[in-house]
Amino acid sequence: MTLDGSYQYTLAHGGGTSTLAENSARAKGSLTTSPGVDYNGDGDFRDTVRFFSPNITNTNRYTGIASLRYDFNEDQRVRVAYTYDNANHRQTGEWGYLFSNGMPEDIFSGRNGRPVLTADGFTISQRDRKSTALLNQVSGEYIGRFFDRAFTLQVGLRAPFFKRNLETYCPIEARGSGFAYCTSEPLTSLRIIAPNAVVPTTGATPYYAPFATTYKYDAILPNAGFTYNFADTNISMFGSYAKGFSAPRTDNLYRAPFIGVQPEKTDSFDLGVRYSSRIVQSQLTGWYIKYKNRIVTSFDFDQGISFDRNIGAVDSYGFDGTVTVRPTNWLGLTAIASYTHTELLSNVQTAGTAIAQTKGKSVPETPEWQFGGRAEFNYGPVNVGVQGKYVDERFATDVNDVVVGSYTLVDLDARFSLEQYGLAKTSLALNVRNLFDERYFGNISTQVDALSGNPNFSVGYPRTIIGSVKFGF
C-alpha cells in the first residue's frame, strides 16, 4: 500500500445539504453540512477545520516469467520467453483527521483511521476506483558470434499485449480534467451526459456517470544490435536499433471515458565506440530517437496527482561520453558529458480549436548539456570521494516561455575502516550531499504555457550531512 501524496484541505461547516459542493470539492476540498456544530466556540457555525486527504493505492501484483534457451553451438543460440504481469489497484482518497500539531491521526487517513463523515454518514473521499493492469508478452532473440568471436550479433522481437480494466464509483467531470466527484448526491441532481455526447463548454459542469471500461494496447517491437572488437587493439564498436512502445499509465485512463493521451512510440538508434585498457576506460555514444505521441508529465494541484499528456512528434539526438582514468591503485578519476537536442515537430491542440505554437520548440524538463565527474582517493583505511554534476537550464512549458536556471551539485563521501584496530568489517562514514548548499529546482511539472496552467517545481534538497557507523559480523 502506498501514498501518492498528502494534501490538507479546508472544510467549512454551515447550513445546507450534506453533499460535496461542486466547485469547492475540487478546488478547496470544502464541504457544507447541516448546522449545529460550533468547532471553536465563537457562537456561529461557519468555522474552518483542516483535514488530511491523501491519495491511497493498495496494489496486489502477480508476475510470472518463463524462458527457453537452445544453444546450437558455443557461438549460436536462441531464446524465447513469456511474461505475465497482473497488477490489481484499489485507489481511494478518504479524508481523515489531524492532531492539533498538524500531524495526521493515521497516515492512511480515513481508510484505516477515523474517517470524516457528512451529516448523512457519507465518507468524504476524492476518488474511489479500482483497476487491473494486465500484460501478456512473448519475445524471442537470436545471438551469434562470428569471425573468431570478434563480431557479435543480437536480433530480437517482442510483442506486448496490454489490457486495462477500469471501474470508478464516482462521477467524472466530462470536460477533460477528469476530476472525480465523490458524493452522496443522487445522480439525478447532476448534469449527467452520455459517454459519446459532445461535451458542452458553457453552463453547469457536466459529468459522466460512474463507469467501467477496458482499454487494449499492443505492438510488434523488433530490435537488433552488434558489437565488433578490432583485432590487436583495445577498441570496440557497437550499435543498436530498437522500436519502443509506452502505454498510458492507469491513472491517466480515469480522466474521462475517452482518453486524450495516446501510447508513445519510438524508433531508437545508437552507434558508439569503446576503449579499454588497464589505466583508461572510455566510451562515446551518438544516438537518435524519433518519438510519436511523446508523453510528458504534469501535476494536477486540485487532485494532488500527476498525469501524462501528449506533445506530438519529437526528434531527439545527442551524445554521451565517459572517461575513467585510474593511474594508480589509490586514485580514480571519472568525467562524463552528455548533449541532448530535442525539437517538437508540430503544434499542440490545447482546448477546442486553440492551438499552442510548439513547433520547433524544445521538450520541457530536458537540459541540453550535462557534465559530471568524480575523484576517488583510497589509501589504507581511508576512502574519500568527491563528485559533481552540472545540469543546464530547462524549459517548464511546451512553448518554452518559462525557463528554470542551471545548477551544480557537489557531494562528498568519506569512510574510515577500523579493521586495523581489531574491529573487522566495521567503519565510520560521513556523507555530505549538496556540499555548497546550492539552491535549485529538481523535478518540474510541465504545462503547455505559463498562461493556461502554472508549471510547478520541486525544491531540491539542501546541504545534508549524514554520519554513520557500520558494523559487520
What fold characterizes domain 76-88+130-470?
Maltoporin; Chain A (2.40.170)
pLDDT score for 305: 55
pLDDT score for 18: 31
Q: Which of 237, 222, 226 is nearest to 153 (CA)?
A: 226
> How many whole angstroms separate alpha carbon 199 and alpha carbon 433?
50
Residue 11: pLDDT band with limits 50, 70, 90: very low
pLDDT score for 196: 72
Please indicate whether residue 240 or residue 448 has the higher confidence score (pLDDT).
240
Report pLDDT digits (tens) over 117-153. 887 888 999 889 999 999 999 999 999 999 999 999 9
Report pLDDT digits (tens) over 36-49. 555 556 666 666 77
Residue 28 backbone dihedrals phi, psi, to 5 degrees: -120, -10
Cβ atoms of 466 and 413 within 8 Å: the answer is: no
Cβ atoms of 98 and 110 within 8 Å: the answer is: no
Report pLDDT digits (tens) over 351-372. 556 778 888 999 888 999 999 9
Give the count of beta carbons closer than 10 Å to the beta carbon of residue 149: 10
Lowest mean pLDDT among 62-71, 92-101, 404-413: 92-101
Cβ atoms of 447 and 397 within 8 Å: the answer is: yes
Cβ atoms of 84 and 120 within 8 Å: the answer is: no
**Which residues, including other chains, have CB under 8 Å from residue 202's CB and lie 6 or more apart?**
none
> Structural domain boundaries of the chain?
76-88+130-470
pLDDT score for 162: 94
Q: How many CA atoms lie within 13 A of 328 on its CB side?
A: 7
Residue 457: pLDDT band with limits 50, 70, 90: confident
Q: How much of the chain exceeds pLDDT 70, in percent? A: 84
DSSP H/E element including 80: strand 76-94
Assessment of whether the complete model's pTM goes beyond 0.85: no
Residue 22: pLDDT band with limits 50, 70, 90: very low
| DSSP string for residues in 173-199 | ETTTT--B---SS-GGGSEE--TTSPP
DSSP, collapsed to helix, strand or coil, labels residue 65 as: strand
Owner of C-alpha cell 518540474: 444
